[in-house]
Amino acid sequence: MSVIAKIKSSVKELYTGYFAAVMATGIVSIALRLTGHLLFSTVMFDIATPLYVVLVVAYLLRVLWFPRRVWRDLTDATKVFGYFTFVAATDVLGTDFVLRGHVVIPLWLGVIGVASWSVLMYFILMFLVFYNTAPIQHAMNGGWLVTTVGVESLAALGSAMADTFPTHSAVLLLASTAFWGLGIIIYLIFIALIMYRFFFHSIKAVDLSPPYWINMGAMAITTLAGSRLILYPHWSSFLLLTKPFIEGFTFMLWVWGSWWIPLLVLIGVWKFIVFREPIRYEAALWSIVFPLGMYTAATDTMSQIKGLHVLHAIVPWCLDAAVLAWVLAAAGYCASLLLRRQPQILDRKTKAQDR
């Protein structure tokens, strides 16, 4: 098989949410940096950046070579929300660049993030309103909440860039606050549908896919974005009036996100131990790593707010869980590559013996 044929085979069935791998790697890099592990943070950053570029090229090739499959995914309510991982990955990577002192790259990543979020958001809304016929029990899954993650990632990047562009800090903070609030509204709408799906329709083990961890991850990134807004020292008079609301609501959302963690663990026990669903690598596993990394970064940032310093005690434990989850997901990916190569190696040996 030629190199081009191998590439085509790889991108043909490319998972719509594979940018979750960049999201996961980028946020673990940020969490490591916030907690003082600069060397390991740089290693993660050096993995996330080329991975982002490779995936961008892969998705563009998929559009070029398999436009019908791309359109099929764009008009599938169970898959299309995965494309929001591109928005979140772009903004998480942009935030990491800001923390490392870059100016131009995060600016362009922010523009790409806003543009891609806008196009995806309104395209999906039009599709759901006018074309979707799938019932809620077949269409709804945790991946829908990546919409909230995408919006909140814009809020987090905007607030991070406020110091980089001081002359535009008021506009950036206002936009970040608007995105923060919009993300909460979208989350409330979708989480209501997800809970309805849980409580009033039958659930099978196969239905409980890893993206349900975004139920917690969406709240974690909302907490991070809100905490950054609260901690910013130079507020405008208008935004200063909203600060108490943001502070109280941010803590409440962190509590809600924390409430999800034991439930998600119990769901995993039910899925993999009680019903013995086989554990294997899948691209969606990165949707578990990202919430853990985001929860770490969010808790560390929120613990800097006056009166919440006690929360910093759990940050090292959260960081260990996030890093361990990343290592396991990466090991699973490497193992899947080896297993994929084994049949090819055996086939070559068989052909050599026949000769």
Label residue 342 by pLDDT band (50, 70, 90): low
* Residues 34-89 pLDDT 10s: 999 999 999 999 999 999 999 999 999 999 999 999 999 998 888 889 999 999 99
Q: What pLDDT is attached to residue 350?
A: 47
Q: What pLDDT is attached to residue 205?
A: 67
Model pTM score: 0.90
325, 292 contact by CB (below 8 A): yes
* Residues 91-110 pLDDT 10s: 999 999 999 999 899 999 99
Smallest CA-to-CA distance from 195 within 263, 268, 283, 285 is with 263
What angle do the packed helices 169-200 and 237-269 form, to 10 degrees? 30
24, 329 contact by CB (below 8 A): yes
Q: Which amino acid is at 11?
A: V
Domain CATH code at residue 188 = 1.50.10.150
Structural domain harbouring 63: 3-354
Which residues neighbour 31 within 8 Å (Cβ) at sequence distance 6 or greater? 293, 294, 296, 297, 300, 319, 322
Q: What pLDDT is attached to residue 195?
A: 85
Look at the chain and report how many structural domains it folds into.
Answer: 1
What whole-number distance in Å separates Cα of residue 52 and Cα of residue 26? 10
- Taking residue 107's Cβ as centre, other Cβ atoms within 10 Å add up to 17
Which residues neighbour 289 within 8 Å (Cβ) at sequence distance 6 or greater? 20, 24, 28, 322, 325, 326, 329
